């Protein structure tokens, strides 16, 4: 008789912990990246405070506010989707993840129109009108496009990540017992939200 003792799901638990640890390490590097950019922003803002203030009036605060509401709401829906999955309600979990993706698309659409207005006014680095701006305002818009553009890229990546989780739930590879991929997607999305929470006041609410 075989008396070997087997730990149930021990391999899965180890994989889940390793996966979460890897995600936390990745998020740490992302925080270092944006933290460095925030530091650069603060230095240039201190050196060009009046120019940064004048440039900030050219941003649409209402668009920035609406996008902030979208991302905060999406953080709630992705968290609720993880809880729903853990409780075995796959349909609700998938629906909540779709709501998160819709919020991400809404964010990108608003950003598209906001950036479009800046193109029309020639405020994009490299354009003729941009080159005539005072150095401080040029620095402001350079940082604005670089940092919000990098954040927008993270929004796209996060939405794709969530799509993979939805696919996993529908195929049965992401389940109430194996939900680490869902948790990792949630962690990544919360980072996206956190970064915007800092970007919004730094660029839009200087005054």
For position 91, which CATH number holds?
A: 1.20.120.80
Q: Is residue 3 part of a domain?
A: no
Q: Which residues, 6+ apart, have CB-to-CB distance to 129 below 8 Å?
A: 121, 122, 123
Both structure tokens of 174: 């992401």
Mean pLDDT across 3-10: 46
* Residue-wise pLDDT tens digits, 162-184: 999 999 999 999 988 888 999 99
119 near 75, Cβ under 8 Å? no
Q: Model-level pTM? A: 0.89
Q: Which residues, 6+ apart, have CB-to-CB distance to 117 below 8 Å?
A: 60
Count of the separate structural domains present in the chain: 1
162 near 101, Cβ under 8 Å? yes
Give the domain range for residue 94: 26-204
* Residue-wise pLDDT tens digits, 75-86: 999 999 999 999
Contacts of 27-31 with C-beta under 8 Å, sequence gap 24+, read 27/187, 27/188, 27/191, 30/154, 30/191, 31/191
Give the pLDDT band (50/70/90) at residue 4.
Answer: very low
């Amino acid at each position: 008789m075989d008396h070997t003792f087997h730990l149930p799901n021990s391999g899965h638990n180890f994989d889940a912990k390793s996966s979460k640890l890897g995600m936390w390490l990745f998020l740490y590097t992302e925080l270092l990246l944006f933290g460095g950019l925030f530091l650069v922003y603060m230095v240039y803002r201190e050196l060009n405070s009046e120019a940064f203030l004048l440039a900030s009036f050219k941003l649409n605060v209402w668009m920035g506010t609406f996008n902030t509401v979208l991302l905060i709401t999406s953080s709630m829906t992705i968290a609720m989707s993880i809880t729903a999955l853990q409780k075995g309600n796959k349909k609700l979990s998938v629906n909540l993840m779709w709501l998160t993706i819709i919020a991400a698309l809404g964010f990108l659409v608003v950003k598209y129109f906001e950036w479009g207005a800046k193109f029309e006014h020639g405020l994009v680095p490299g354009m003729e009108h941009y080159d005539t701006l005072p150095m401080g305002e040029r620095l402001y818009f350079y940082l604005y496009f670089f940092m919000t553009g990098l954040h927008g890229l993270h929004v796209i990546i996060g939405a794709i990540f969530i799509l993979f989780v939805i696919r996993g739930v529908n195929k049965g590879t992401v389940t109430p017992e194996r939900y680490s991929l869902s948790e990792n997607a949630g962690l990544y999305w919360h980072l996206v939200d956190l970064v915007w929470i800092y970007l919004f006041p730094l660029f839009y609410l200087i005054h």
